Amino acid sequence: MNTELSIPARPGKVIAVHLNYRSRARQRGRTPRQPSYFLKPATSLARSGTPVERPAGTELLAFEGEIALVLGRTAHRVRPEEGWSHVAAVTAANDLGVYDLRHADQGSNLRAKGADGFTPIGPGEIPADAVDPGALRLRTWVNGRPAQQATTDELLFSFGRLVADLSRLSTLEPGDIILTGTPAGASVAQPGDLVEVEVDAPDAPGAPTSGRLVTPVVESTVPLGDHGAQPHVDDRQRIEAWGSAEAAGVAPEPALTDAIREGLATVAVATLSVQLRKRGIDNAGIDGPRPLTPGTRLVGPARTLRYLPLREDLFAAHGGGFNAQKRAIDSVEAGEVLVMEARGERTAGTIGDILALRAHTRGAAGIVTDGGVRDSAAVAGIGLPVYAGAQHPAVLGRRHVPWETDTAIACGNTTVRPGDILVGDDDGIIVIPPHLVAEVLADAVEQERQEEFIAEQVRAGHGVEGLYPLSGPWLDAYQAWEE
């Protein structure tokens, strides 16, 4: 099934959703609680096969394959469960935008995404009553190579919910178009590239499809003009447009940005543990160490220090002077967590008050050791988050040789590499691989939001069947509660 595109040449409204796929939210490092939107001019629409021009003097024309909803009947103040019934058809769309002009229209995207031809759509459409809106597939190709693939079971906000949300204050009319967001994989198209987008329902009878929406990219020969905001790009815009620092050819941003650090400080270690387990990482918790002060929170990238078991000849050569322990303390950077491998040996200290004070004055985010801490009351009073396996009065020379820094270590039966992200609370400490930290945080925030709803229902006397975890009608109820 690939019916001819029936939308009017100039629909009343073209509305686009900012973020609506979990994969894209993870890529962006944030998961919205509610959908947000922007308008695209009807003059931005183009048919399949129509070339799109990259404006002269720009470099970052980005493609975003999307599923477009075509409204079939008027919708005003409808409920989420009614929203899909107001959709006549779905089709493929490409929400093109030039990142060079985002600075001029942050949020509204009027010039960045509103140029003529920046919303190719079609070529055909799939009747809404022929498919399950939760079982559609979206695919994008660039020069024949796959770039995006996702299904609508990973949407943050269902199609019915989008229609209901938009209709609360604005009347949606037949022919209006809603662009429903793009998954991960959106990137930059260059002049000479051919971008194709297709929407289908492979499991529906007849496997209906929109057909491939074809958009050749060409370079504009018309100067942009100097009477308005001019193109401007930086490495951040390049990374966002290309989808990653590697693809953009620029140095990557640190995994632990200020925003991510702040976010990690608000979610429970238990929640982060669940999210890592969903990604196949079970052994991410550091066993043993507990905070010297209850209520302590810790977030930061790891610096590592390794102790060997005591051997007197080695201690004579490596234990005195400016040894590995002191070098680690004296070089820890602001915001870092010094993590010590002490083999779980609890009968000697691995740090005391003077060196803990030195780490604090250097701005360390904390200290973690699976061994002991000396002067524990004084260390706790410094104000530095410290997690330790035990308190013991003996100096490290009783059991340890300070050996090396900035190498992979085993702390509390868990591997910790320099740069790994540590998060601690009263439950303990979790180790997050840097490349996963943004998506783990985004999904952890959503998990805790769901659990807030679940707890509210349990307090009201509801049973946990279908509620924990959310499924069926309870999932719909949660989405309505989110509004």
Please indicate if the annotation marks 362 as binding a ligand: no
Please indicate if the annotation marks 355 as binding a ligand: yes
Please indicate if the annotation marks 101 as binding a ligand: no
Please indicate if the annotation marks 313 as binding a ligand: no
Please indicate if the annotation marks 67 as binding a ligand: no
What is the 3-state secondary structure of the chain? Answer: CCEECCCCCCCCCEEEECCCEHHHHHHHCCCCCCCCEEECCHHHEECCCCCEEECCCCCCEEECEEEEEEECCCECCCCHHHHHHHEEEEEEEECCEEHHHHHHCCCCCHHHHCCCCCEEECCEEEEHHHCCHHHCEEEEEECCEEEEEEEHHHECCCHHHHHHHHHCCCCECCCCEEECCCCCCCEECCCCCEEEEEEECCCCCCCCECCCEEEEEEECCCCCCCCCCCCCCCHHHHHHHHCCHHHHCCCCCCCCCHHHHHHHCCCCHHHHHHHHHHCCCCCCEECCCEECCCCCCEEEEEEEEEEEECCHHHHHHHCCCCCHHHHHHHHCCCCCEEEEECCCCCCCECCCHHHHHHHHHCCCCEEEEEEEECCHHHHHHHCCCEEEEEECCCCHHHCEEEEEECCCEEECCEEECCCCEEEEECCEEEEECHHHHHHHHHHHHHHHHHHHHHHHHHHCCCCCCCCCCCCHHHHHHHHHHHC
Please indicate if the annotation marks 381 as binding a ligand: no
Which residues are known binding-site members for substrate?
Answer: 352-355, 374
Which residues are known binding-site members?
Answer: 352-355, 374-375
Which residues are known binding-site members for Mg(2+)?
Answer: 375
